[in-house]
Amino acid sequence: MGLTGLFLISFLIVHVGVNACIFVNDQGEAYNTAAHFMSHNWVLRIVEIGLFAGLLVHILQGLLLWKQNSGARPINYKVNAANENSRWYSRSMGLLGTLLLFFLIIHISKFFIDTKIALYSGDQPHNLFEEMKEEFSKWWVVVIYLIGVISLFWHLLHGFQSAFQTFGINHKKYTPIIKSIGIFYCVVVCLLFALMPIAFYLKWLE
């Protein structure tokens, strides 16, 4: 879980980096160049297979955990003051992950598949920036994306530091640093992701 999680976390840095190119505000030229490079580089095509494999393994591990752990307590407590001893998002990783999966299905069917079709049919240049502009002019698309990003934020807030604990890294000196980096990462990555649909919807980028 930790290993695949950290792999996906490293992918998000690349993803958010490419996305942030829209804020150059040059009618999407920088962004389209970056997106074109990402989709036309054969090394990245191979890495992409690894990414989907990582995602799949992460989901399967999650399902296995859910199955084993829900069987470990057949009778629940009538009263459970769980908020007194742990954070809600740490206890809701399965739920947040499921929300993220639904979001990913919508997200991939919207942008990823279109990009692939354009890549392999190959006749006309694909303008992802214009496509995004159009998609994010619909308020309900923006809402779906914001729900996705919020789920991602809580999922990562637990996941980042949790991965290190799983690897056996719990150190008086380094763990507070890891936790701070985790919070910084979550805030920056999620804020950048959230700003994208908002910027298009509010027509900050023309």
Partner 1 sequence: MEHYHMNLTLKVWKQKNSNDAGKLETYQVKDISSEMSFLEMFDVLNEQLITNGKDPIAFDHDCREGICGMCSMHINGRAHGPWDKNTTCQLHMRAFKDGDTIVVEPWRSKAFPVIKDLMVDRSAFDRIIQAGGYISVNTGNAVDANAIPIDKKDADDAFMAASCIGCGACVATCKNSSAMLFVSAKVSQLALLPQGAPEKESRVLNMVAQMDKEGFGNCTNTYACEAECPKGISVANIARMNREYLKASLTTED
Site of interaction with partner 1 (CB under 8 A):
65, 68-69, 71-82, 84-87, 90-91, 93, 158, 161-162, 165-171
Distance of CA 178 to the CA centre of its chain: 19
Give the span between the Cα atoms of 160 and 178, in whole angstroms. 8
Which one, 65 or 117, has the nearer CB to partner 1? 65
From CA 19, how far away is CA 39, in angstroms rounded? 14
Nearer to partner 1, 40 or 87 (CB): 87
Looking at the Cβ atoms of 10 and 69, the one nearer to partner 1 is: 69
In the complex, the smallest distance separating the C-beta of residue 1 from partner 1, rounded to whole angstroms, is: 8
Per the CB < 8 A criterion, the answer to whether 190 and 40 are in contact is no
- Least distance in angstroms from the C-beta of 148 to partner 1: 22
**Minimum CB separation from partner 1 for residue 163, in Å?**
9
Q: Which is nearer to partner 1, 60 or 191 (CB)?
A: 60
Q: Quick one: 148 or 159, whose CB is closer to partner 1?
A: 159
> Do 193 and 149 form a contact (C-beta atoms < 8 A)?
yes
Token representation of residue 84: 């007194």
Site of tokens 């805030």: 187
CB of 68 to partner 1, least distance (A): 6
Rounded to a whole number of angstroms, the minimum distance from the CB of residue 176 to partner 1 is 13
Length of the chain: 206
Please state, in angstroms and as integers, the Cα–Cα distance from residue 108 to each residue in 26, 48, 111, 175, following that order. Answer: 25, 13, 6, 35
